[in-house]
Amino acid sequence: MSATPATETTTDSAGELPTGYAPTDRTVPTRSRDRARYDRETVHSILDQAYLCHLGFIRDGAPVVLPTLFARVGETLYVHGSTGSRPLLAAGKADPGLPVCLTVTHVDGLVLARSAFHHSINYRSVVVHGTAYEVTDPQERRMALDALVDHVVPGRSADSRPASDKELAATAVIRLDLDEVSAKLRTGGPNDDPEDLGLPYWSGVVPVAPAYGTPVPAADLAPGMATPDYIAAL
């Protein structure tokens, strides 16, 4: 089924983006439609709190999904890769680029119901459909790579050696515009059936959240070098 054009992503008469993405045939879920969100604030928040995505595409007639790093800059996602990787090679060809589906998911809680059937997960997710293209402009590539580093550890790109020309030649970036986008969320507790409420089983939510450990200095780090504040802040 073809997708409906995401016309709501165009600018308005004042040159500003509207608050939401237009639902399409591919971004409207077939189940639990009430959990779908299309506002930019929700989508951007979910994307900005993650740095690992899964990039899906078709290779030799079969689906492939690869985990990789990404960063959002405005209404564009930049995805990291190697110049020899298949998705980057495909995205670097002439039009029409590489059709992809990119997903990001946060797990916020384990939802344990009295019945096995109603067990669930609290989550926040974003799905992006579109066509990816290789970034070839040198200035945009450097900006995108700095954004990728800073998205993982804010402030790190300014506190490390910039990539050499040789390293840049071995690194590729693809861009994917945020046009056909949706978010989906589940929050709250278990949905136990009324007839199960009296059963002697624990029911509730086990929260799940990412955690950073204490930074471990490299073995060859200069003696006395302190951990930077931006790393300690993690």
pLDDT digits (tens, 9 = 90+) for 108-157: 999 999 999 999 999 999 999 999 999 988 889 999 999 999 999 999 99
Residue 172 · residue 88 · CB < 8 Å: yes
User: What confidence score (pLDDT) does residue 11 get?
Assistant: 44
pLDDT band for position 97 (cuts 50, 70, 90): confident
pLDDT at 94 over 60: no
How far apart, in Å, are the Cα atoms of 113 and each of 75, 122, 173, 205?
39, 13, 43, 9
81-89: average pLDDT: 63
Residue 157 · residue 109 · CB < 8 Å: no
CB neighbours (10 Å) of residue 145?
22
Residues of 186-206 as b/e, b for ≥16 C-beta within 10 angstroms? eeeebeeeeeeeeeeeebebe
Q: What are phi and psi of 4, to 5 degrees?
A: -75, 135
Residue 142 burial (10 A CB sphere; 0-12, 13-18, 19+): middle
- Domains of the chain listed by start with CATH number: 7-232 (2.30.110.10)
1-20: average pLDDT: 47
pLDDT at 92 over 80: no
User: What confidence score (pLDDT) does residue 13 get?
Assistant: 42
Return the minimum-mean-pLDDT range out of 74-78, 149-153, 164-168, 205-209: 164-168
Pairwise pLDDT comparison (11 vs 222), residue with the higher score? 222
How far apart, in Å, are the Cα atoms of 109 and each of 31, 152, 171, 203?
20, 23, 36, 13
How far apart, in Å, are the Cα atoms of 85 and each of 40, 77, 81, 90?
31, 18, 7, 9
**CA 7/CA 15 separation, integer angstroms:** 14
pLDDT band for position 2 (cuts 50, 70, 90): very low
pLDDT at 185 over 50: yes
User: What confidence score (pLDDT) does residue 86 get?
Assistant: 60
User: What confidence score (pLDDT) does residue 4 get?
Assistant: 34
User: What confidence score (pLDDT) does residue 49 get?
Assistant: 96
DSSP H helical ranges for 181-234: 229-232
pLDDT at 88 over 70: no
In 3D space, the residue among 57, 94, 72, 65 whose CA is nearest the CA of residue 150 turns out to be 72
Residue 160 burial (10 A CB sphere; 0-12, 13-18, 19+): exposed
pTM for the whole thing?
A: 0.84
Return the minimum-mean-pLDDT range out of 14-23, 49-58, 148-157, 221-230: 14-23
Q: What are phi and psi of 31, to 5 degrees?
A: -125, 150
